A and B are shown apart, each in its own frame.
Chain A
Amino acid sequence: MLKEYLPILILLIFAFVFAFGILLLSHFVGPRKYSDVKGEPYESGIKPFMDARVRFSVKFYIIAVLFIIFDVEIVFLYPWVVVYKEIVSQGIFIFIEMIVFVVILLIGYFYLWKRGAFEWE
């Protein structure tokens, strides 16, 4: 049975030898020069112009908060979708129920919109 795994072993050995071989080769053969430009986070391209640890605007939090509210409500749609086909034949109730649910969400959306929560200024 172990015989079947032999190709995998060969592959593993080959991969290790090849990967470390290339690394060692470049380590011994390649020239090495250090400079300030090379030490920067983005070696080629834009020069960094400020600290990476900045505080960003609180507005992003509000977007995140709004996203969470509407995103998580989707969780109620999944079980509904799963049983929809079988239950809708017993009556339209299940459809109306979801309409009511979505309308309640829409009222919340309308409220946020009117209150100016989506305005970026």
Chain B
Amino acid sequence: MDYSIPTINLSVIGPEIIILLTAVSVLIIGLFPNYRRWSISIVFIGIIFAFYDIYYLWNLNQVGFDGMVLADNFALLFDIIFLIGTLLTLLLSGNFINQYIRGTGEYLSLILFATLGMMLMASTNDLIVIFLGLETLSISLYILAAFRRSREDSLEAGLKYFLLGAFTTGFLLYGIALIYGSTGTTNIYSILNFLKDGSVEIGILFYIGMILIIVGFGFKAAFVPFHMWVPDVYEGSATPVTAFMSAGVKAASFAVFLRLFITGFSPIISQITGILAVLAILTMTVGNVIAIVQTNIKRMLAYSSIAHAGYILVALTALSRNIESEFSAASIMYYILVYTFMNIGAFGVVIYMEKSEEEVLKISDYAGLGFKKPFAAICMTLFMFSLAGIPPTAGFMGKLYIFSSAVESELYGLAVIGVLNAVIAVYYYLRVVIFMYMKEAVLDFSYLSARPVMALSLSISVGGIIYLGIFPQSLINLLTNIL
């Protein structure tokens, strides 16, 4: 046999390499207590360099590694979303890092490794790399979920996430194997060509494989029959970790869905619109209905995040019905960006409220916050408004785009159910606001001190949802042209 080196273009994975080097260096620096305080600055410098590299690669549409890795604008946009999520999370983790000072290196590097996994998932064109990225992400998150290893709830969250995650990895892999077997390739473009070609009949194995892949990523993105892990893991993990995974994992899974639906499976994707619609209705309804009865704010946000996965799934269903619709794809990306801001922001306020030992996580604990800590309360109010979809926040525009994309694809029933769900959701989001402004305080909030770094993160999130809510048009134009 003749062997030759495929064309490798290292600049395609420039942002990934920067993140990897940063992660490795903070891991090593974390070993030396005298230099440990520098690690957080190194992380920020690394992220800034990664942003710069993305700016440099923008519009260049580079391809490398024999077509396995792409740096098209789609991938770079998702890289930006992931890095924003990482940045906001790290700004919120100050307290957590101080509490587990010996684990600084591990915490920071695991967050960065997880980000690296997400970036790989978004910027690849090959099922092998998607799988590797997903596992880089998941394995880092299993450890992060169990990071507070002296606490029973954290370990339980880690173990549950691990067992269920590894279980679904098996299904995902089996799906990939069947697709490989029926098409003879793992490259998404080659799969597209195989399907377009039409000379070979598409066998049942291919459809089973496609369904199994949707199940695998549906687990990560928390679609409803596969959502059992979400509330437990979100409650048991440390809150900064919860914030990180609620935004990042979902964004990465939807990036893969978009890539697969728009290129790989596009000729036959309209055949599974029905399945996707059922999943969307289940996900929205179950998430919203169970969220109503929650008393713990982290569990409530967990169920709300399931519901939000359902809203995004509505747009994905619309996309599968009408695969040429750039507007549906744009509405998904817009919503994911907005969701990153508003959800990490909401968790940010939860982090701010936590005491170090005895945690303040009941919704009733927020009573009276509005008068004692006006800034935190205003931020929380805006995040809740945005999550509920009340104008002028970006959450409203996001829902508007998603439901109009469903209408555009003539899925009227789905759009109506979505709107009804959004109405149900208003109840439990506004309950938090009512507690904050209309009830007497039960706790004295004297333990809460000003935390400028955290305030910066919250301000960025608030700025994001207000700006995107009032001026969405330029971003939507950009997103529609990205594909």
Contacts and interface: CB of A to CB of B under 8 A. Distances in A.
Q: Which 5 A-B pairs have the closest CB atoms?
A: A114-B31, A83-B3, A86-B3, A87-B3, A93-B5
A91 B3 CA distance: 12
B132 interface: no
A114 B4 CA distance: 40
B159 to A, nearest CB: 15
Given A114-B31, A115-B31, A107 B24 contact: yes
A121 B172 CA distance: 42
Q: Determine chain B's interface SS by DSSP, over half rule.
A: loop
Contacts of B5: 87, 90-91, 93-94
Interface residues of B, number: 9
Interface in B28-42: 28, 31
Interface of B: 2-5, 8, 24, 27-28, 31
Interface string A54-73: 00000000000000000000
A111 interface: yes
Contacts of A115: 31
Interface in A103-121: 104, 107, 110-111, 114-115
18 contacts: A83-B3, A86-B2, A86-B3, A87-B3, A87-B4, A90-B4, A90-B5, A91-B5, A93-B5, A94-B5, A104-B24, A107-B27, A107-B28, A110-B28, A111-B27, A111-B28, A111-B31, A115-B31
Nearest to B105: A111
Contacts of A87: 3-5
B320 to A, nearest CB: 38
A104 B17 CA distance: 13
A75 B227 CA distance: 35
A115 B31 CA distance: 7
Contacts of B28: 107, 110-111
Given A104-B24, A111-B28, 11 more contacts: A86-B2, A87-B3, A90-B4, A90-B5, A93-B5, A93-B8, A107-B24, A107-B27, A111-B27, A114-B31, A115-B31
B390 to A, nearest CB: 48
Contacts of A90: 4-5
